[in-house]
């Protein structure tokens, strides 16, 4: 009897999701999940609060499920509600992608691509690739969301992003993901311009151990590798530390607290050229995963995203800031080889 009821429930849910549920219902559950409050959801959707309550009752009645628990503190998705929210986000992402493609064809524009990027890829790789894309099609629109893998991969899986650019951490590999390595990116130590260590001929890890440092969060694999490097030099890691994965936070503390920070080489050199940071001549002997691309297996990308990937590959091959110093010297001696020619 229980198995029979379960079959009936699944059949009913399948029928509702395929034919009965409407776009406005999906927008509602996503907004409720975001704001966790009927009044703020109503304001966001530009409808009355009773209208929000009525639409939510419609969805729950169709599915015969309670999607959100209501209380004086607001709304909280149930387990069933969380599943419906994930479904709604995926459908809405596909809807927006299709709408943008149709609008691009109608207007003659090149369309819109949505990319998630780690800081390591933003100022040089992604910026260079977007510049190339715009040279080929000035009307192409690029939405960039910055974050780390834990934040961006769920959005990629839901279809809210078309591709990811950043470090290909092996712990995040999965059968549904397609990864493509582009280049290796070592780390450097940075301080603010005018810092005392910039005037020292040979700063070392002992200097870093005695000063404030900005380090990745404790759960980051890079944090462990940095601490192990201090130990290999016979040193304890610095006691005065700040923990963050945010570039803005790192640059703020480096500037305001005379701290040292760790950045990818291309990022450090980029901001050194901008006059914001100074790269110290300290070797950081840490092996890191390569920088590359992640897309969803079996998902068709918009033409603009395909074009951006082509531009990312070309930038990774030709931008001197992304090459090992020896490769830069070789290319300068053989300029005809640039661009793969």
Q: Let me know if domain 187-279 sits in CATH 1.10.3720.10.
A: no
Cβ atoms 266, 158 nearer than 8 A: no
| pLDDT tens digits for range 302-324 | 888 999 999 999 999 999 989 87
Residues contacting residue 129 through CB under 8 Å, at least 6 positions apart? 308, 311, 312, 314, 315
**Is the pLDDT assigned to residue 89 strictly greater than 90?**
no
Q: What does the pLDDT average to over 108-137?
A: 89
Q: For the segment 126-149, what is each residue's pLDDT rounded down to a tens digit?
A: 999 999 999 988 888 899 999 988
Question: Residues 280, 189: contact at Cβ < 8 Å?
Answer: yes
Q: Which two tokens stand for residue 324?
A: 């090992």
Query: Each residue of 161-177: pLDDT tens digit?
Result: 999 999 999 888 899 99
Give the model's pLDDT for residue 333.
Answer: 47
Residue that has been written with the tokens 């963050």 in this structure = 244
Q: How far apart are CA 174 and CA 145, in angstroms?
A: 22
Could you give the angle at which helices 79-107 and 149-158 cross, rounded to 10 degrees? Answer: 70
Query: What is the CATH code of the structural domain delimited by 2-91?
Result: 1.10.10.10
Same fold, 110-184+290-340 and 187-279: yes
pLDDT cut 90: percent of the chain above it: 57
Q: What is the pLDDT of residue 12?
A: 58
How many other CB atoms sit within 10 Å of the CB of residue 68?
22
To the question of pTM greater than 0.95 for the whole model, the response is no
DSSP labels, 26-92: HHHHHHHHHH--HHHHHHHHTS-HHHHHHHHHHHHHHHTS--EEEETTEEEE-HHHHHHHHHHHHHH
Which pair of structure tokens corresponds to residue 34?
Answer: 């975001």
Q: What is the pLDDT of residue 249?
A: 94
- Nearest-angstrom CA–CA distance, 208 and 243: 15
Q: Spell out the domain ranges in the chain.
A: 2-91, 110-184+290-340, 187-279
Among candidate residues 271, 277, 280, the one with its CA nearest the CA of residue 253: 277
57 in Cβ contact with 66 (< 8 Å): no
Identify the CATH class of 110-184+290-340.
alpha beta
């Amino acid at each position: 009897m229980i198995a029979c009821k379960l079959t009936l429930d699944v059949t009913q849910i399948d029928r509702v999701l395929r034919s009965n549920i409407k776009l406005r219902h999906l927008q509602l559950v996503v907004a409720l999940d975001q704001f966790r409050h009927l009044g703020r959801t109503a304001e966001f959707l530009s409808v009355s609060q009773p209208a929000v309550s009525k639409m939510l009752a419609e969805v729950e009645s169709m599915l015969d499920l309670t999607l959100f628990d209501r209380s004086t503190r607001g709304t909280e998705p149930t387990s069933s509600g969380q599943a419906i929210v994930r479904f709604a986000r995926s459908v809405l992402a596909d809807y927006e992608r299709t709408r943008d493609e149709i609008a691009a064809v109608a207007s003659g524009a090149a369309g819109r691509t949505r990319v998630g990027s780690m800081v390591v890829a933003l100022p040089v790789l992604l910026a260079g690739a977007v510049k190339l894309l715009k040279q080929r099609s000035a009307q192409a629109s690029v939405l960039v969301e910055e974050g780390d893998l834990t934040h961006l991969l769920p959005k990629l899986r839901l279809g809210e992003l078309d591709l990811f650019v950043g470090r290909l951490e092996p712990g995040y590999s999965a059968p549904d993901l397609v990864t493509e390595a582009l280049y290796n990116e070592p780390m450097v130590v940075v301080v603010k311009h005018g810092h005392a260590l910039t005037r020292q001929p040979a700063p070392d890890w002992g200097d870093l151990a005695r000063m404030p440092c900005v380090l990745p969060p404790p759960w980051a694999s890079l944090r462990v590798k940095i601490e192990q490097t201090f130990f290999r030099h016979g040193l304890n890691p610095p006691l005065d530390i700040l923990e963050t994965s945010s570039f803005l936070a790192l640059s703020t503390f480096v500037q305001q607290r005379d701290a040292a920070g760790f950045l990818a080489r291309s990022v450090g050199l980029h901001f050194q050229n901008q006059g914001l940071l100074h790269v110290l001549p300290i070797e950081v002997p840490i092996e890191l995963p390569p920088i590359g691309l992640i897309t969803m297996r079996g998902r068709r990308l918009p033409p603009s995203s395909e074009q951006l990937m082509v531009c990312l590959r070309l930038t990774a091959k030709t931008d001197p800031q992304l090459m090992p110093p020896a490769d830069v010297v070789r290319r300068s001696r053989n300029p005809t080889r640039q661009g793969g020619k």
